[in-house]
Amino acid sequence: MRSRPGINAFAEAPNLISMISNFPTMIPIRAIFQFSLAALAATSVQSTYAQSPSQYSAVEITQAAIDNAVAEMDGIVSDVMTQTGVPGMAVAIVHNDAVVYAKGFGIKQIGSPDTIDENTVFQIASVSKSVSATIIAALVGDKEITWQTPIVEHFPEFTLADSYVTSHVTIGDVFAHRSGLPGHAGDLLEDLGFDRETVFDRLQYLPLNSFRASYGYTNFGLTAGAVSAANAMKMDWATLAKTRLFDQLGMTTASMSYADFQAQPNKALGNVYHDDTGWEATPQQRDPDAQAPAGGVSSSVVDMAKWLRMVLNEGQFGGETIVESEPLKEAILPQNYEGPLAAFDSRPSSYGYGIGIGTDQTGRVRFSHSGAFLIGTGTTYMLLPSENLGIIVLTNGTPVGAAEAITQIFMDYVELGAPRIDWTTGYEQLYAAFRVNHSELAGQDFPTNPTAAPDHALLIGNYHSDYYGELEIVGDGEGGLIARLGPDQTDYEIPHWDGKIFAWYAPGENGVGISAVTFNQTGEDNAESVTFEFLDENHLGTFTRQNYTFGAYIERQPGAGGEAWADDKNGIGVANGLDYALTSDASSPVSDIKGPQTIAERVSGGMDGNNFAVQIQLPASPPDEVVYLIYASDDLEREHAEVLASFEDNRWILGTGSVLQNTPVNGVDTILDYQTIPGLDSRFLWLGVQQRN
């Protein structure tokens, strides 16, 4: 018979902290704590004690208690799934280097009849951080790197706001979340569609907290450390994870690649919980490739059980050393506190390198980490090393505390014989806070008699943020406004709310509803700036109007035929040339041009800081009969233009003052103009080709 204590008992629970991917605000929800005598662990007094005082617990655990807890697991899962409504999950338990329980429950996605089994593959979200930490520990044991290796040693482009921090921040620092980066740095950029390289580049604009004296849970900070380690091995992170860990453990379903997850025939898909409508299948599965080391692992519980066994056995698996014990011990050494204490008598929670460490109510050390995607994944594991015991729970639903409740109830059966508090209800209440919208507009209806908006002509225009990039406000053709934002200049409706305030529904898994868009506009003047409330967490959500004319157009002369120079200054199309010019939204249909005379796979224009830039992705085999040219001028007259760069013999030759940046991953080359915006009325860049002589 399972104990069902009342909800009031949850108030007696200890301080709980969660490590969860993509959440902008941390909330205390994981029961792992640091024992105040941990420093005594290295001082065993054999003449008096059979074990170190730091290993002693006054609460005995018997084999019968563990067996009973395992026997209760079907009922525990049934109760938690019934109460929370989570559509599906899988659970595995390991003890003394053996899998003693592995089972799937529920369905793979709402609307599907397919059921989950122990081999069903789930996205495990931020539990990936602990997995990645063991990969780094393996490389440390191989003498390839150390936890103290500076990120820039193998990732020289990595830049933060402070030059000292940039040069000194280590792989260990970002795995312990003590780099000084604010919590969840870069996550909102990813939500807008920016790729990993862009996010890394723009971390330099974020204000830093105290270096090595603060805790800021960051997905992209940790990812930068992992990328540096992969660079040291001269391979990408997904390949490194496969060859250095997954293959050696026989984790055949595990991967750091979203494409691999998609290709799995037996996989669980996400489901989303809404407070007003309940559960529904997620319309868009989470692609975590940009931050794969922090949240990109997919695996079955059967394979994750192999990882649990390896960690509990201090790096050993199947009689082989997978990870040397010393660097693994360094990963589970408390490196950072996760935040201030809730009360004087709260047990503090610590964080190692990608792993949470602490002590439970019996004084035993526990290791754990939770993971979540708000659009359909809630996961956790918990290890009790004194008993060589571990449990992992993977779910395919919005995090509502189901995974954590199951691990806590199981451990209560192990240590106390039965749960003493209502973990499920308590975790549900704690996780509900993640779904709260803190916008000034939240919970309100659109005003029925709003103050009139300023003339839209005063609001329409181009705006810029160093962090979030370009923003264009345009009319929607029906009297409303549209905001074009992100790398693809995606259209977002911003309906009028009241006066100079408009409304916006942010994309991505961090978007939890309506938020304000406020224009800084006075009298009959053009708006000077516009602030997106949801993007303003680090005071970087204000876009400043760009008072310049930015044009970019493309010219093309086919390689064969020798036609005269063709240009398209107005974007209306020319014979034998491109039928569209780059416009102020920096878009181009070049990718739609097919055939042997295609001169570029992709061309776009925009801003890089205060510098104009044009990006070009050339064909894999550029035509030999033409020379590529990047022109710049203050007007649209070719005779006034200067050549910023030319592409000949498979390399760019730069003109005076221009800068070349390469992005080898997708083959994009960026040419920056040496001219900057201040003082310019207009500036134009374009791509052209010339027939070779």
Q: Are residues 228 and 241 in the same domain?
A: no
Distance (Å, rounded) from C-alpha 256 to C-alpha 630? 38
- Angle between helix 423-432 and helix 402-416 axes, rounded to 10 deg: 150
Whether 1 is in a domain gets the answer no
Q: Quick check: 291 and 190 in contact, CB under 8 A?
A: yes
Q: Of 518, 545, 572, which one is at a domain's C-terminal end?
A: 545
Q: Are residues 296 and 424 in the same domain?
A: yes
Q: Are residues 65 and 103 in the same domain?
A: yes
CA distances 345 to 357, 412, 486, Å, are 18, 21, 46
Residue 6 pLDDT > 50: no
Percent of the chain with pLDDT over 90: 63
Domain span including residue 383: 7-144+236-433
Q: Quick check: 89 and 76 in contact, CB under 8 A?
A: no
The confidence band for 608, taking pLDDT boundaries of 50, 70 and 90, is low
Q: Are residues 256 and 383 in the same domain?
A: yes
pLDDT at 606: 61
Whether 446 is in a domain gets the answer no
Q: How many domains does the chain have?
A: 4
pLDDT at 566: 32
The confidence band for 48, taking pLDDT boundaries of 50, 70 and 90, is very low
Whether 523 is in a domain gets the answer yes
Q: Are residues 244 and 357 in the same domain?
A: yes
Q: Are residues 511 and 624 in the same domain?
A: no
Closest listed residue to residue 268, CA positions, set 249, 256, 253: 253
pLDDT tens, 451-468?
999 999 999 988 889 899
pLDDT at 600: 63
Residue 589 pLDDT > 50: no
> How much is the average pLDDT of 319-331?
97
Closest listed residue to residue 513, CA positions, set 274, 324, 686: 274
pLDDT tens, 100-131?
999 999 999 999 999 999 999 999 999 999 99
Distance (Å, rounded) from C-alpha 621 to C-alpha 619? 5
String of DSSP letters for 555-603:
----SSS-PPP---SSSS--TTS-S----TT----GGG--STT---SEE
pLDDT at 646: 86
User: 86 φ, ψ to 5°?
Assistant: -55, 130
- CATH number of the domain encompassing residue 619: 2.60.40
pLDDT tens, 540-556?
999 998 754 444 444 33
> How much is the average pLDDT of 30-42?
28
Q: Of 480, 512, 545, which one is at a domain's C-terminal end?
A: 545
Residue 603 pLDDT > 90: no
Q: Are residues 270 and 416 in the same domain?
A: yes
pLDDT tens, 574-586?
222 232 233 323 3
Q: Are residues 371 and 402 in the same domain?
A: yes
- CATH number of the domain encompassing residue 89: 3.40.710.10
Q: Are residues 575 and 511 in the same domain?
A: no
**Between 605 and 265, the higher pLDDT residue:** 265
Whether 85 is in a domain gets the answer yes
Whether 266 is in a domain gets the answer yes
Q: What amino acid is encoded at 294 in this protein?
A: A
Q: Are residues 393 and 526 in the same domain?
A: no
Distance (Å, rounded) from C-alpha 640 to C-alpha 634? 8
String of DSSP letters for 347-416:
PPPEE-SSSEEEE-TTS-EEEEEEEEETTTEEEEEEEEGGGTEEEEEEESS--SSHHHHHHHHHHHHHHH
Q: Are residues 251 and 361 in the same domain?
A: yes
Q: Of 433, 465, 491, which one is at a domain's C-terminal end?
A: 433
pLDDT mean across residues, the chain: 82
pLDDT at 509: 85
The confidence band for 366, taking pLDDT boundaries of 50, 70 and 90, is very high
Whether 358 is in a domain gets the answer yes
Whether 438 is in a domain gets the answer no
Whether 443 is in a domain gets the answer no
> How much is the average pLDDT of 602-631?
69
Residue partners of 388: CB distance under 8 A and separation at least 6: 95, 96, 97, 312, 313
- CATH number of the domain encompassing residue 490: 2.40.128.600
pLDDT at 575: 29
**Between 305 and 558, the higher pLDDT residue:** 305
Q: Are residues 558 and 532 in the same domain?
A: no
- Least confident range from 86-95, 220-229, 248-257, 678-687: namely 678-687
